[in-house]
């Protein structure tokens, strides 16, 4: 439980942090809720830690001029909880860890870590967020749909820092729900589902359904979305759409839930999330 030796540098600014990441096997640390346990187990052995925890320029959580929303990478779970206007976001974040975790863990850290059972990736995928990444080479914006490449693996280059997460406005009348089958000890998702659904003229006009804890990464259940859009949103239509919850996924199997059970629970929780988003 003792990490391998490493150098430590506290960044004075974002530019200072980006400079420190150039070359070598450096890792960014902020809250440290995920990286430090891996280092203690020696599953991660960075040669240097670059501490960005004091960079106020990476904090902040609020609306944008176009009616969307922006979250600074160093915004803590607790700060996000206090700022959000969405009940289903509040329900999701309240189920993450405990008070200490929510006070120290950061939104950017959770997305960068890409734990396949983390709640936030599913929430932000369903809300159509994008990651804004910066390096000494410049800045780029990457949709979260496709950002998660594998367990604990993202599209972020070693010299890039996630600086913020952004989304556009929600479609008029859309609402959402986060439904979770949690591990009783850790609180991590065995199955977690976020659904954001809107209707117009008696049919479903918008559907984003994201699943965590089930596959190798958090993912958009696009077959569910396709089956739902254009339907009347009836119980039968939702059940039929939810049957596609794991289409194209290599479903996880472990001591908490085998593959068949987890796949079945994914279908159940997708249906529950959609029903709740529709106000049922």
**Beta-strand pair 153-154/148-150:** antiparallel
Per the CB < 8 A criterion, the answer to whether 204 and 228 are in contact is: yes
Domains of the chain, earliest start first: 7-51 (3.30.43.10), 56-167 (3.30.465.10), 175-277 (3.30.390.50)
pLDDT at 222: 98
End-to-end CA distance of the chain: 48
pLDDT at 217: 97
- Summarize pLDDT for 225-261 with one digit per residue, the tens: 999 999 999 999 999 999 999 999 999 999 999 999 9
Closest by CA position to 27, among listed 47, 1, 5: 47
Point out which residues pair with 211 in neighbouring strands.
Answer: 193, 219
25 pLDDT above the threshold of 90: no
24 pLDDT above the threshold of 80: no
pLDDT grade for 88, boundaries at 50, 70 and 90: very high
Percent of the chain residues past pLDDT 70, beyond the cut: 100
* Six token digits for residue 160: 């890039």
* Six token digits for residue 212: 């965590």
pTM of the model: 0.95
- Summarize pLDDT for 142-168 with one digit per residue, the tens: 999 999 999 999 999 999 999 999 999
pLDDT at 75: 97
Closest by CA position to 174, among listed 221, 213, 127, 220: 127
Rounded CA-CA distance 168/158 in Å is 28
pLDDT grade for 68, boundaries at 50, 70 and 90: very high
pLDDT at 186: 84
Q: What is the mean pLDDT of residues 90-95?
A: 96
34 pLDDT above the threshold of 90: no
Per the CB < 8 A criterion, the answer to whether 62 and 84 are in contact is: no
pLDDT at 1: 78
The phi-psi region of residue 237 (left if phi > 0; otherwise alpha if psi is between -120 and 50; otherwise beta) is: alpha
45 pLDDT above the threshold of 80: yes
């Amino acid at each position: 439980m003792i990490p391998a030796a490493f150098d430590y540098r506290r960044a004075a600014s974002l530019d200072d942090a980006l400079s420190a990441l150039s070359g070598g096997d450096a890792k960014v640390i902020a809250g440290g809720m995920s990286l430090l346990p891996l280092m203690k187990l020696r599953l991660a052995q960075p040669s240097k830690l670059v501490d960005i925890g004091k960079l106020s320029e990476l904090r902040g959580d609020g609306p944008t001029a176009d009616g969307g929303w922006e979250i600074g990478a160093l915004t803590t779970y607790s700060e996000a909880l206090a700022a959000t206007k969405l009940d289903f976001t509040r329900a999701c974040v309240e189920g993450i860890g405990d008070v200490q975790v929510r006070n120290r863990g950061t939104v950017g850290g959770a997305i960068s870590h890409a734990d396949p059972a983390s709640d936030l990736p599913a929430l932000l995928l369903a809300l159509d967020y994008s990651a804004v990444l910066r390096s000494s080479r410049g800045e780029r914006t990457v949709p979260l749909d496709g950002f998660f490449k594998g367990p604990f693996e993202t599209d972020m280059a070693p010299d890039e820092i996630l600086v913020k997460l952004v989304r556009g406005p929600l479609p008029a009348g859309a609402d959402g729900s986060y439904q979770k089958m949690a591990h009783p000890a850790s609180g991590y998702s065995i199955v977690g589902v976020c659904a954001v659904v809107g209707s117009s003229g008696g049919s479903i006009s918008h559907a984003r359904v994201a699943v965590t804890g089930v596959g190798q990464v958090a993912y958009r259940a696009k077959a569910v979305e396709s089956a739902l859009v254009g339907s009347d949103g009836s119980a039968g239509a939702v059940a039929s759409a939810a049957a596609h919850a794991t289409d194209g996924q290599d479903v996880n199997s472990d001591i908490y839930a085998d593959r068949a059970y987890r796949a079945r629970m994914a279908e159940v929780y997708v249906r529950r999330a959609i029903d709740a988003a529709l106000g049922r």
